[in-house]
Structure 1
Amino acid sequence: MNDGTALPEPFAEIADDFHALGGKDRLQLLLEFSQSLPELPERYADHPELLEPVPECQSPIFLVTEVEGAGSEATARLFFSAPREAPTTRGFAAILAEALDGRSVGEVLATPDAVTGQLGLAEVVSPLRLNGMAGMLARIKRQIRAKATL
């Protein structure tokens, strides 16, 4: 399933769900994730300029993070804007939101960059699309590092 590196718990659960399915069903699960992406809170929906674009994604996606508290135990919050017409990208964003939103800054920053390749999606989506998810994770970590007082 992976390269020997243990997946962080929330990603492990998601990976198990994907690995338990065949290709067509994995795509269906990704679509289900896309439908569960939370809407942006008003403070960002009304001010899209506050969100950072993710040019690694083939579809227009934007994200912003917040840090509540201080130190590595502070809480990381993630917010995404992705068009409904881009279900793969929305699905990736929803997976990252489910796995990382509300976790500690330390947990988010400790997430291995390779986690996006260990979810069992390489068989059903292109490497270019997986690069988009990796780009989202890199931007999340960079923003969290910049906003956290460690």
Structure 2
Amino acid sequence: MPATDQIPAAFEEIIDDFQALSAKDRLQLLLEFSQGLPDLPDRYAEHPELLERVEECQTPLFLKIEVGDPDRAATADDVVHLFFHAPAEAPTTKGFAGILLEGLDGESADTILNLPADLPGRLGLTEAVSPLRMRGMSAMLGRIQRQIRETVS
């Protein structure tokens, strides 16, 4: 496994937590992350059209990012905040969103843009969930990075 020096400390801790468990226990930890995903703030809950659907996810998952101060142009040094919405009956998808939220929210745009492409795979969940579901998590990360690139000047 390549060095994780480009991965935020919070995400490294999550990786370590998953790697320390058996495949069955990793799935349980993923489900725990689904329970910690907060509801959308009113500005998005009342305007779902502002969210982007991640089509690669097996169940409907929507996300939105905010970069820096809305009163000025965003830069690569600005902090990113992540927002997700998934139905309660989609615990795996919600779990992936919860991991991304806990591991990346509050990091700089530059940090998130420079994450290694294999980041989702480093969790060791390929033995516990299907490849299709893992592609969903990779797609979430890809959407986050694309939205950041479109926002940062």
CA separation in 1, counterparts of 2:116 and 2:11?
10
* Alignment pair present for 1:34 and 2:34: yes
Matches within 5 A, 1:74-85: 74-85=78-89
Q: What is the DSSP-based 3-state SS (H/G/I as helix, E as strand, rest coil) of the residue aligned with 2:123?
A: coil
> Which amino acid is the alignment partner of residue 66 of structure 1?
E
CA distance, structure 2, for counterparts of residue 5 and residue 50 of structure 1: 36
Q: Report the counterpart of residue 120 of structure 2 in structure 1.
A: 116
Task: Give the match for residue 43 of structure 2.
Answer: 43
Q: CA deviation digits over 1:81-101, x for unaligned, max 9?
A: 011100000000000011111
Q: Determine the C-alpha separation between the residues in 1 that align with 2:3 and 2:143.
A: 22
1:62 corresponds to which residue? 62
Deviates more, 1:45-54 or 1:66-75: 66-75
Residues 66, 78 of structure 1: 8 Å contact kept: yes
Q: Which residue in the other structure is 1:14 paired with?
A: 14
Residue 107 of structure 1, CA deviation:
0.7
**Unpaired stretches in structure 2, ≥5 consecutive residues:** none
Question: Structure 1 residues 70-79 or 5-14, which shifts more?
Answer: 5-14
**Percent identity over paired residues:** 58
Residues 11 and 119, structure 1, Cα contact 8 Å, conserved in 2:
no
Cα pair 1:11 1:115 within 8 Å, conserved: no
Any runs of at least 4 consecutive aligned residues in structure 1 with deviations exceeding 3 A, and if so which? none
TM-score by length of 2: 0.92
> What is the RMSD computed on CA atoms of the aligned residues?
1.1
Count of paired positions = 147
Deviation at residue 24 of structure 1 after TM alignment: 1.5
- Cα offset for 1:11? 2.1
